[in-house]
Amino acid sequence: MSKKIDLNGIFPPIPTPFYKEEVAYDRLALNVEKWSKTGLAGFVIFGSNGEYPYLARPEKLQTVKTVAQTAPKTMTLIAGTGCESTRETIELTNAAADQGAHAALIVTPHYFGDKMTSTALVRHYTTVADRVSIPVLLYNVPKFTHINLPAEVVAELSRHPNIAGIKDSSGNVAQLGEYLNQAAKNFQVLVGMGSALFSALTLGCSGGVLALANIAPAACVSIYNLVRAGDFAPARDLQLKMIPVNKAVTGTYGIAGLKAAMDWLGYFGGDPRPPLLPATEKEKAEIKEILIKAGLL
């Protein structure tokens, strides 16, 4: 249980492909093979874009296994294994580790949101980190959870030997700055919003977990490499060019839009699981236009 894991670089939170509502493991493998040639540092399996709340436990484990068997050994596999209860989170995390996950992304429990006080969150994450066999990443995604991980909580948890970093999807750079300021030196902060990648990297973040990286991995990797090389102007220009794409596949059209974009770009996207609605033909056409305009298609 040490923080040996390296979270530098770009990680796509990969969508789960379905065929007739069943997980299409074969197509997942094809997607992973294709992504593996783009310079990505690893994969996040079951970020929000993986529709994790819609998958049963055996499906989750089979998905982790599929990616682990397909991805190059050099890539880092992070599995989203956060559940509402502390005990189920521990159990699922260890099971995912057995299938090949190198680290676990643990979303804040949130159903009883007004009771998820700093004390409750510290206890939850500490108990989980104490009892799992792989490093833990905190996952702050207020858009979906309606709670926010305060910098003080992150600072305290960053001292735990088995808590390696955080994925923050709030889009709030002031808060990213607080995380960077207050956390332990070896704690790694990943930004979870494609439109904030450039800003987060210039501020000192290690990398990004970006829906955008599923459909524009090369662009995201370029932004990362340019900033690392100190070449800010082209990085910024590329970032600005990617903002409309990112907005389309995260905000406006959501996961259905992200999957439609993948279909346009030669990946297998398909439809999300119900109750999520598939993209309409009109929406698919709009997404195509956006991809063309951004030079991705």
Q: What are the residues binding a second copy (CB under 8 A)?
A: 21, 48, 53-56, 84-88, 109, 111-117, 119-121, 123-124, 127, 143-144, 146, 171-174, 177-178, 180-181, 193, 195-196, 198-199, 202-204, 230, 232, 236, 239-240, 243-244, 246-247, 254-256, 273-277
Give min distance, CB of 120 to a second copy, in A: 5
Residue whose CB is less far from a second copy, 25 or 35: 25
Residue whose CB is less far from a second copy, 199 or 225: 199
Measured CA to CA, the distance from residue 129 to residue 121 in angstroms comes to: 12
Give min distance, CB of 7 to a second copy, in A: 19
Give min distance, CB of 16 to a second copy, in A: 11
Of these residues, 3, 167, 259, 284, which one is catalytic?
167
Q: Is 120 exposed, middle or buried (0-12, 13-18, 19+ CB in 10 A)?
A: middle
Residue whose CB is less far from a second copy, 71 or 201: 201
The strand order across the sheet containing 13-14 reads 9-11, 207-209, 188-191, 163-168, 136-140, 103-107, 76-80, 42-45, 13-14
Measured CA to CA, the distance from residue 91 to residue 116 in angstroms comes to: 21
The single-letter code of the amino acid at 219 is A
Q: How far apart are the first and last CA of the chain?
A: 44
Whether 167 is catalytic = yes
CA 125 centroid distance within chain? 18
Measured CA to CA, the distance from residue 118 to residue 106 in angstroms comes to: 16
Residue whose CB is less far from a second copy, 13 or 42: 13
Helix (H) or strand (E) holding 13: strand 13-14
Residue whose CB is less far from a second copy, 14 or 193: 193
State the CB neighbour count (10 A cutoff) for residue 117: 11
The single-letter code of the amino acid at 118 is S
Give min distance, CB of 295 to a second copy, in A: 14
Give min distance, CB of 62 to a second copy, in A: 16
Residue whose CB is less far from a second copy, 236 or 288: 236
Contacts 24+ apart (CB under 8 A), 274-277: 274/21, 276/51, 276/54
Q: Which residues are catalytic?
A: 167
